[in-house]
Amino acid sequence: MKHVESKEMFEEVIKDGNVVVMFSADWCPDCRVLDPVLPGIVADFPEFTFYYADRDKLIDLCGELDIFGIPSFLAYKDGKEVDRFVSKDRKTRTEIESFLQTALDK
């Protein structure tokens, strides 16, 4: 998964195609629970390009996007947000896959 390093990079990567940005942090236990399943999720949804955004490095962007809990996922199509899975709750593989399928259908 590629890393978003700045707000400018974020704005650039979401411009074209189907993109999912996962907002997370290294210290977040609910985020780390996803580490073993993320490669499989990425492989199962080749329609998306996936990016990792460190919430602590991009705290201002998170505020602008109303992301106050992690892990959180935002889906974009050609620069337009089409869906979001944003909360402070732990997420399961099934929930993430359902979110991604819904985003694809939009």
Euclidean distance between CA atoms 18 and 48, whole angstroms? 5
Burial class (CB in 10 A: 0-12, 13-18, 19+), 24: buried
52 with 96: CB under 8 angstroms? no
Euclidean distance between CA atoms 40 and 54, whole angstroms? 21
- Check residue 87 and give its pLDDT: 84
Long-range contacts of 5-9 (CB under 8 A, 24+ apart): 5/57, 6/58, 7/58, 7/60, 7/61
- Please say if 28 is a catalytic residue: yes
pLDDT tens digits, one per residue of 23-51? 999 999 999 999 999 999 999 999 999 99
Spot the catalytic one: 28, 38, 53, 61: 28
* Single pTM value for the model: 0.95
Give the chain's domains with CATH numbers. Answer: 2-98 (3.40.30.10)
- Check residue 88 and give its pLDDT: 81
Q: Which of 58, 42, 62 is nearest to 50 (CA)?
A: 42
- Check residue 89 and give its pLDDT: 85
Spot the catalytic one: 13, 14, 31, 100: 31
The token pair that represents 102 in the structure block: 């819904």
> Tens place of pLDDT for every residue, the chain, 106 residues?
999 999 999 999 999 999 999 999 999 999 999 999 999 999 999 999 999 999 999 999 999 999 989 999 999 999 999 999 998 889 999 999 999 999 999 8
- Please say if 62 is a catalytic residue: no
